[in-house]
Amino acid sequence: MKIFKLLKDILAPKKCYSCKKEWHFLCNDCRYRVAEYESSCFICKEESDDYKIHKNCKNDWVYYDKMLIKYHYDWYYISKMIKDAKYYQKKDILEDFWKEMGELLEQHCMNLEKSILMPVPMYFLRRWKRWYNQSEVLAKAISQELKIPCYNNILYRKYNTRQQSKLSKKDRMKNLKNCFAIRSKHIDILDKKQIILVDDVVSTASTLNEISKLLKSQGVEKIVCVCIASN
């Protein structure tokens, strides 16, 4: 696989989306010009230590404990890269993101040795049509980099729901209600673990919150979300 990848890079080298320089989809020079997300509470957007959700922001409806985000989605080349990776079978683009997501976890997530990675599941027909789940690709790569177990078969999506990006916040919550489930034979794996949910883009966090609610109902104590970008 490494030889194949090397040949591919030589014969068809990556090009920076911004400056067209070869070898990276986003070169280091251009990467430094991209606005990064600062450590803040995802709910109120105010400063927060290690991206924690403020206690007074959680109330009774927010179930995840941290939301780690690398970039702002509204930067044109970031959104273009993510869309190409997600909808146009350009899976290699994800390689330029997973290392940075791993670095975020190392810097802002305690007890990684007691953690397990879980990608946001995709309905099986949609995954078959797209050939891969981008969240799963990211989670597996982060798993190899940080030596954290990745389980992509614990959670599953029961229904082929409407696309979240086309719905209002209120409709997104209705769209996802009771959409996810846990395979009962894997429930013991969750015991006393910190769950790291991996996704590409977060907007209202309705999907991640619905999954977090389900996991917390099974006794999971802490949930950290890590994403490439957000609005």
Q: How many domains in the chain?
A: 2
Residue 51: both structure tokens together: 């991206």
Average predicted confidence (pLDDT) for the chain: 87
Please, which residues bridge with residue 156 across strands?
181
Q: Does residue 15 sit in the same domain as residue 115?
A: no
Q: Is the pLDDT of residue 2 over 60?
A: no
Contact 195, 105 (CB under 8 A): no
Strand locations in the chain (E): 66-72, 115-119, 155-157, 180-182, 194-202, 222-230
- Over residues 145-187, the pLDDT tens digits come to 999 999 998 998 988 765 656 655 666 666 677 789 998 887 8
Q: Does residue 68 sit in the same domain as residue 122?
A: yes
The pLDDT of residue 186 is 78
The pLDDT of residue 91 is 87
Q: Give the three-state DSSP class for 87.
A: helix
Q: How far is CA 21 from CA 25, 81, 172, 219, in A?
A: 8, 15, 39, 48
Please, which residues bridge with residue 47 across strands?
40
| CATH classification of the domain holding 179 | 3.40.50.2020
Domain range holding 222? 37-230
Number of neighbours of residue 117 by Cβ within 10 angstroms: 25
Whole-angstrom distance, CA of residue 173 vs CA of residue 151: 25
- Over residues 59-81, the pLDDT tens digits come to 888 999 999 999 999 899 999 99
Q: Does residue 146 sit in the same domain as residue 210?
A: yes
The pLDDT of residue 184 is 82
Contact 145, 98 (CB under 8 A): yes
Contact 155, 212 (CB under 8 A): no
Question: Higher pLDDT residue, 1 or 207?
Answer: 207
Max distance between CA atoms of the chain, in angstroms, equals 54
Q: Does residue 79 sit in the same domain as residue 160?
A: yes
Mean pLDDT comparison of 16-30, 55-69, 119-133, 159-173, highest-scoring range: 55-69
Q: Does residue 61 sit in the same domain as residue 146?
A: yes
Q: Does residue 4 sit in the same domain as residue 57?
A: no
**Confidence band, pLDDT 50/70/90 cuts, at residue 14:** confident
Query: Percentage of the chain surpassing pLDDT 70?
Result: 88
Contact 228, 82 (CB under 8 A): yes
The pLDDT of residue 174 is 66
Q: Does residue 10 sit in the same domain as residue 97?
A: no
The pLDDT of residue 197 is 98
H-helix or E-strand containing 80?
A: helix 76-87
The pLDDT of residue 162 is 59
- Concatenating the DSSP letter of every residue in 161-197 gives PPPGGGS-HHHHHHHHTT-EEE-GGGGGGGTT-EEEE
Q: Does residue 9 sit in the same domain as residue 120?
A: no
Q: Does residue 22 sit in the same domain as residue 70?
A: no
- Over residues 194-216, the pLDDT tens digits come to 999 999 999 889 999 999 999 99
Q: Does residue 19 sit in the same domain as residue 75?
A: no
Residue 226: both structure tokens together: 């890590």
Q: Does residue 7 sit in the same domain as residue 107?
A: no
Q: How far is CA 217 from CA 119, 122, 142, in A?
A: 18, 21, 26
- Over residues 135-146, the pLDDT tens digits come to 999 999 999 999
Q: How far is CA 223 from CA 22, 60, 68, 84, in A?
A: 38, 15, 11, 29
Global confidence as pTM: 0.89
Q: Does residue 99 sit in the same domain as residue 6?
A: no
